[in-house]
Amino acid sequence: MTSLDRRSALLALARGGCALAALGTGCGGEWRQAVVLAPPPEGAACSGAPPPGTAEQGWVEVRLEDHPALATPGGHAEVRLPEALLDVVLVHVSPGCFVALWRICTHGDCAVAWLPDEGVMECPCHGSRFAQDGQILQGPARRPLTAFTAVRKENSVFIHRPR
């Protein structure tokens, strides 16, 4: 299925039609909100955020060469840095703009996954969904995922992990 077909199917789903068949998952499943990947809102890390500070100030460097998928808008990578108490999905949401979302579901102990075609995080255990700012789109989770400021600088992305 092309990305255009997939987008059309998602829009049909949002209008109430049964587009799940077009996605190859069959009809009759529960409705899920379709969210089209969009640039982050005004004030997000890529629009006016200050440059990253020092490690002592809680900025953690993620080198793009260690996660080549992040070089392209739409790319994402799981970033686990135990020494920084950081376990996130880092997403290149639009050219030069990144978000970092905590990778463990707030409902339980499952690792959430980024769905690039829909621009959401989804938990495989009970289906909670989170927007790219971490807010809940669908339960059963009742608390948002923590979103960390992420700023591109040269060949790295710096994530602010307050201590």
Q: Which residues bind ligand FES (CB under 6 A)?
A: 105, 107-108, 110, 123, 125-126, 128, 140-141
Least separation in angstroms between CB 106 and ligand FES: 7
Q: Which is nearer to ligand FES, 98 or 130 (CB)?
A: 130
Q: Which is nearer to ligand FES, 77 or 141 (CB)?
A: 141
Do residues 90 and 81 make contact, with C-beta atoms less than 8 angstroms apart? Answer: no
Q: Which is nearer to ligand FES, 128 or 149 (CB)?
A: 128
- Amino acid at the residue 98: F
Do residues 123 and 110 make contact, with C-beta atoms less than 8 angstroms apart? Answer: yes
Least separation in angstroms between CB 120 and ligand FES: 13
Complete DSSP assignment for 75-123: -EEEEEEGGGTEEEEEEEEETTEEEEEESB-SSSSPBPEEETTTTEEE-
- Amino acid at the residue 39: P
Q: Which is nearer to ligand FES, 107 or 160 (CB)?
A: 107
Least separation in angstroms between CB 8 and ligand FES: 28
Do residues 151 and 45 make contact, with C-beta atoms less than 8 angstroms apart? Answer: yes
Least separation in angstroms between CB 103 and ligand FES: 11
